[in-house]
Chain A
């Protein structure tokens, strides 16, 4: 079965500090994409960052970066200089090259940011 596991149901960070959210996945395929989505209370999922599995270089988007370890099937998200607006549910997901647009999501991590 293809699964995504987020082992931290809740995380908390102080404003301006750094936090890392964990994600592991299980697939026998070698070609896929990985994503982190943010879901605020409005329910609207927003793409934060994505990584192509064939690229060794870790993706970075402003304050967001990933640590992609393909052999370990690990894909963690690091948020630097945390802001109050970062508070939300964060979902890790992947998508296989040969399955169209189907996304497989983890259970989510709820991030709170303390002022």
Chain B
């Protein structure tokens, strides 16, 4: 079956602009996660959803970042007033549930470049 997909694969924007990054999880997966991976670093947790609700948003760096998952499937990560420091690869993952043994399957990421 299809894996986790993310669109766009690359996004170039100018400082101050608004961007939306989309994640399509594996069908039937109730848990969805967003991570940010800066150059040369490991992924950093941003937020995760169980169903439609954000179960843990402790990793969002500030109020310019927001994520939604209105129907419990597709999720959108929204970044307002982008800054050069937001440049990174944004990874999405999904798992069947948030259960301890459920494997997180990752998408290929969206590379965001803020000029």
Binding site for B on A (CB under 8 A): 4, 33, 37, 42-47, 50, 91, 93, 95, 97, 99-108
- CB pair B41–A101 under 8 Å, yes or no, is no
- CB pair A100–B55 under 8 Å, yes or no, is yes
Q: How far is the CA of A99 from the CA of B107 in the complex (A)?
A: 22
> Which of B89, B93, B104 has the largest number of chain A CB atoms within 10 A?
B104
User: How distant is B39 from chain A, measured CB to nearest CB, in Å?
Assistant: 11
Using A4-B42, A97-B100, A102-B45 as known contacts, say yes or no to A45 and B50 having CB atoms under 8 A apart: no
Mark out the residues of chain B between 90 and 115 whose CB falls within 8 Å of any chain A CB in the assembled complex. 91, 93, 95, 98, 100-104, 106-109, 111
The answer to whether the Cβ of B56 comes within 8 Å of any Cβ in the partner chain is yes
- CB pair A102–B44 under 8 Å, yes or no, is no
- CB pair A105–B44 under 8 Å, yes or no, is yes
* Known pairs A44-B3, A99-B56 / 13 extra A-B pairs, C-beta < 8 Å: A33-B101, A43-B89, A44-B107, A44-B108, A45-B91, A45-B93, A97-B100, A101-B48, A102-B59, A103-B33, A103-B104, A105-B35, A107-B42
Using A4-B42, A105-B44, A108-B41 as known contacts, say yes or no to A100 and B108 having CB atoms under 8 A apart: no
User: How distant is A27 from chain B, measured CB to nearest CB, in Å?
Assistant: 14
- Chain B neighbourhood of A101, CB < 8 A: 31, 33, 48, 95, 98, 102, 104
